[in-house]
Amino acid sequence: MSESSKTTNVVIAGLGGQGVLKASDILADALVRSGCDVKKSEVHGMSQRGGSVHSDVRFGSEVLSPMVPPGEGDFLVVLDGTQIEANLHALRDGGVLITPATILGEEGDMKAIEKAGGLPLTRQNFNVALLGALSTHLALSEEHWLAAIRANLPERAHAANAEVFDFGRAAAQGDRPAL
């Protein structure tokens, strides 16, 4: 495969109920809007009872297998600190790891950040904050991201999620509220 047609691999992981699948829905939707080929794969079922969940999103000019081959993940986004170890095998050498610490800092505590920044950050929309962090690495316009957020969340959550997305994007670049 030539370099230009290379498929980019994103793995999003966490625990059932944390919004792993919603995050991958938003990412995949934004990618579809940008015009590329996209495949998204996960397994529903038993995993929804609080167990480990992961979702693969692949994009490029033509995506073949819907599953990210082990060790070929370009990006690994983990929504829960306890699930990093169990998913590292998905990431290639030199791949980018995005975790809660990426936006909260090593000692980061969601509550403190929320207060300090006056942010509508909650457990429910933390997945979208991590997508904001991921967005700093992808050539995907903010317009597509926001359209995907609107298409996948109820209207009452649009404003808060857009704000949280921007926070995640800024925080991943080191711009987070001082504690």
Partner 1 sequence: MNLPNRMLLSGNEAVALAARDAGVALGVGYPGTPSTEILENLSRLGGSAQWSPNEKVAFEVGLGVVFAGARAVVTMKHVGLNVAADPLFTAAYTGVSGGLVVVSADDPGMASSQNEQDNRNYARAAGVPTLEPSDSQEAYDFTLRAFEISERWRTPVMLRMTTRICHSKTIVCPDDAHRPAGPHAPSFVRDVKGRVMIPAYARQAHRRLRAKLADIRAWNEASELNKELGADRCLGIIAAGVSYTHAREAAPEAAVLKLGMTYPLPIEKIRAFVESVDRCVVIEEGDPYLAESIRACGMVVEDKPEMYRFGELDVERVRRILCGDVSPEASPPAGKPPQLCQGCPHRVVFSALSRLDCIVAGDIGCYTLGVLPPYEAMDTCVCMGASIGVGLGLRHVLPEEEARRVVSVIGDSTFVHSGLTGLVEMVYNPPSTGHVVLILDNDTTAMTGLQEHPGTGRRLDRQPTNRLVIEEVARAIGISQVHVVDPTAGVKAFQELLSSALSGGELVVIIARKVCQLAARKKS
Interface residues toward partner 1, by CB under 8 A: 1, 15-16, 28-29, 32-33, 35, 37-52, 54, 63-67, 69-71, 82-83, 85-86, 89
Residue closer to partner 1 (CB basis): 55 or 113? 55
Q: Smallest distance from the beta carbon of 89 to partner 1, in angstroms? A: 5
HSE of 140, CA atoms in CB hemisphere, 13 A: 28
Q: Smallest distance from the beta carbon of 129 to partner 1, in angstroms? A: 22
Q: Smallest distance from the beta carbon of 66 to partner 1, in angstroms? A: 4
Give CA–CA dist 140/59, Å, rounded: 12
Q: Is 87 exposed, middle or buried (0-12, 13-18, 19+ CB in 10 A)?
A: buried
Render the burial of 97-127: b for 16+ CB within 10 Å, e for the rest: ebbbebbbeeebebeebbeebebbbeebbbb
Residue closer to partner 1 (CB basis): 7 or 135? 7
Residue closer to partner 1 (CB basis): 86 or 179? 86
Residue closer to partner 1 (CB basis): 41 or 124? 41
Q: Smallest distance from the beta carbon of 37 to partner 1, in angstroms? A: 6
The set of residues, in sequence order, having a beta carbon less than 8 Å from that of 138 and lying 6+ positions away, is 8
